């Protein structure tokens, strides 16, 4: 009995202590901009731990051999992490203070990790204007750069040239109306079941819708980049346009949850869709010949623009070998290394001058991706972006599948985003 009460007192005391320590510490923290100190000159030394996800994690060790050869005395240990568990692994490591020296970081995670005070600001000797502007922007949190783009991707419209000819279209359309009539002609004259393979809302559909909104000059933030902006008139125009494909039966309202884009493209059932550069090898694998299809930029309402994605490279504050880690990032941004990495991974270079390499400039389809990257845009680097856009994706599903009013849907998306807040 005595023991029990003693234990109870101890528990209560511990709980009281824990509770009295509660409450947010409101001073300082993320939000103010940081200035970075520069890195030392000379070669990289010591041991570096690097994390990378997916396919990049598997083949990065091969590239690191070149880095080690160029910098005798450095040893790079690459840890490959599956994409599914990567985000959790990073947040756990940041909490426990066991982050790697440098890592590949998903472009939508920058705001969150920088908010956790985990990333080291980019030193001044790295020239951030060498990268595509849209991709570089994903590294900027509250006016400070916390990383550099490593590789990029953007979305273009894929179409079957042979079927387009049958439909009487010989030149890629330049405006929204032209694109829609081309998709309609594919249905009417070239035997397509659906003219355009737009995603009918749902997760990730913003990546198909935003290129149109951006091509109309839409901005996703307002109030000096301090708030979400989903219900601008430009967004409304883009969403109405996107919806018209579904109401006119040009796109499939009831597409299966698992898209069958490649076989549908091959059979001509759906001869147009919007996607990224990896689809080139994917459609060629199912038997679409290189001269049977082409890509075109997103037609402009005002100026053509698309979505830029990809991954960044960042150095962590906890790194014991910071200077060498930045030297690695600098080396990875070298145009020659970027071109070589394209050859190994088919990841598109984030450094503009790397596109002069014949492997890239010699391919007319790739060149169009390169051109699109110059104007492509990325979503804001708010830590809550994924959650805010999930509401937008759900609303878009109502717009495409149930014919919901676009204005009301955008209003609801905006309300949801505002209740989530930017998280900064």
Partner 1 sequence: MSSTTEVTPSGATGRGSSPRGKGGDTRPASNPGAGASRRRQGLAAWTLALPFCLLFLVFTAWPVIQSLFMSFTDTRSRDLRTPFAVDIVGLDNFTKAFSDPIFRKSMLNTAYFVVVGVPLTMAMALAAAVALDKGITKLRGLFRLGFYTPVITSIVAVAVVWRFLLERDYGLINTVLGWVGIDGPNWLGDPNWAMPGLILMASWRNFGTGMIIFLAGLQAVPWMLHEAAAIDGAGAWQRFRHITLPLLRPTLLFVSVTTAIGYLQFFEEPFVMTNGGPLNSTISMSMYTYKQFGFGNYGLASAMSYIIFVIVAIVTAIQFRLLRENT
Binding site for partner 1 (CB under 8 A): 18-19, 21-25, 87, 91-92, 94-95, 112, 115-116, 200, 202-203, 254-258, 383-384, 386-387, 390, 394, 397-398, 401-402, 423
* For partner 1, the closer CB: 154 or 384: 384
DSSP letter for each residue of 27-85:
SSSBTB---PPPPPSS---EEEEEEEEHHHHHHHHHHHHHHHHHSTTEEEEEEEE-HHH
Q: Which two tokens stand for residue 144?
A: 């400070």
Rounded to whole angstroms, the Cα distance separating 275 from 151 reads: 16
Q: Report the nearest approach of partner 1 to the CB of residue 135 (Å).
A: 24
* For partner 1, the closer CB: 360 or 396: 396
* Direct distance between the N- and C-terminal alpha carbons of the chain, in angstroms, rounded to an integer: 51
* For partner 1, the closer CB: 233 or 423: 423
Q: Report the nearest approach of partner 1 to the CB of residue 256 (Å).
A: 5
Q: Report the nearest approach of partner 1 to the CB of residue 120 (Å).
A: 17
Q: Report the nearest approach of partner 1 to the CB of residue 14 (Å).
A: 11
Q: Report the nearest approach of partner 1 to the CB of residue 391 (Å).
A: 9
Which among 163, 157, 217 has a CA at the least distance from the CA of 368? 157
* For partner 1, the closer CB: 5 or 170: 5
- Residue with tokens 């000819």, as numbered in its chain: 165
DSSP 8-state assignment for residue 122: P
Q: Report the nearest approach of partner 1 to the CB of residue 321 (Å).
A: 22
Rounded to whole angstroms, the Cα distance separating 193 from 369 reads: 28
Rounded to whole angstroms, the Cα distance separating 108 from 131 reads: 17
Q: Report the nearest approach of partner 1 to the CB of residue 203 (Å).
A: 6
* For partner 1, the closer CB: 11 or 77: 11
Rounded to whole angstroms, the Cα distance separating 289 from 160 reads: 10
* For partner 1, the closer CB: 365 or 401: 401
Residues with Cβ within 8 Å of 54's Cβ and at least 6 positions away in sequence, in order, are 82, 83
Strand partners, 175: 300
* For partner 1, the closer CB: 111 or 299: 111
DSSP letter for each residue of 332-386:
HTSHHHHHHHHHHH-PEESBGGGGGSHHHHT-HHHHHHHHHHHH-B-----TTHH
Q: Report the nearest approach of partner 1 to the CB of residue 349 (Å).
A: 31
* For partner 1, the closer CB: 218 or 390: 390
Q: Which two tokens stand for residue 27?
A: 């001073």
Rounded to whole angstroms, the Cα distance separating 21 from 206 reads: 42
């Amino acid at each position: 009995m005595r023991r029990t009460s003693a234990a109870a007192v101890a528990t209560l005391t511990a709980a009281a202590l824990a509770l009295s320590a509660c409450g947010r510490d409101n001073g300082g923290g993320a939000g103010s901009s940081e200035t970075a100190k520069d890195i030392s000159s000379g070669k990289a030394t010591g041991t570096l731990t690097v994390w990378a996800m997916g396919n990049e994690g598997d083949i990065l060790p091969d590239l690191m051999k070149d880095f080690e050869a160029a910098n005798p005395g450095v040893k790079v240990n690459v840890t490959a992490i599956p994409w599914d568990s990567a985000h959790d692994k990073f947040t756990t490591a940041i909490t426990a203070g066991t982050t790697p020296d440098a890592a590949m970081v998903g472009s939508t995670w920058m705001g969150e990790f920088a908010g956790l005070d985990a990333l080291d600001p980019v030193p001044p000797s790295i020239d951030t204007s060498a990268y595509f502007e849209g991709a570089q922007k994903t590294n900027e949190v509250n006016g400070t750069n916390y990383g550099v783009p490593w590789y990029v991707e953007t979305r273009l419209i894929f179409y079957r040239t042979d079927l387009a000819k049958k439909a009487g279209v010989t030149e890629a359309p330049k405006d929204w109306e032209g694109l829609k009539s081309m998709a309609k002609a594919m249905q009417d004259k070239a035997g397509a079941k659906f003219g355009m393979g737009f995603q009918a809302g749902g997760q990730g559909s913003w990546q198909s819708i935003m290129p149109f909104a951006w091509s109309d000059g839409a901005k996703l933030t307002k109030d000096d980049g301090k708030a979400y902006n989903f219900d601008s008139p430009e967004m409304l125009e883009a969403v109405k346009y996107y919806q018209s494909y579904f109401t006119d039966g040009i796109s499939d309202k009831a597409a299966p949850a698992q898209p069958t884009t490649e076989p549908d493209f091959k059979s001509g059932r759906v001869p147009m869709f919007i996607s990224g550069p990896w689809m080139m090898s994917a459609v060629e694998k199912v038997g679409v010949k290189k001269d049977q299809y082409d890509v075109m930029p997103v037609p402009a309402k005002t100026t053509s623009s698309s979505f830029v994605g990809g991954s960044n490279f960042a150095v962590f504050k906890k790194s014991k070998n910071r200077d060498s880690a930045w030297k690695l990032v600098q080396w990875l941004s070298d145009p020659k290394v970027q071109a070589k990495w394209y050859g190994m991974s088919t990841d598109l270079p984030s450094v503009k001058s790397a596109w002069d390499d014949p492997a890239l400039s010699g391919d007319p389809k790739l060149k169009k991706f390169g051109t699109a990257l110059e104007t492509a845009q990325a979503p804001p680097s708010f830590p809550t972006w994924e959650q805010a856009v999930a509401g937008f994706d759900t609303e878009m599903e109502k717009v495409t599948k149930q014919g919901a009013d676009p204005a009301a849907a955008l209003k609801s998306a905006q309300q949801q985003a505002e209740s989530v807040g930017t998280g900064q």
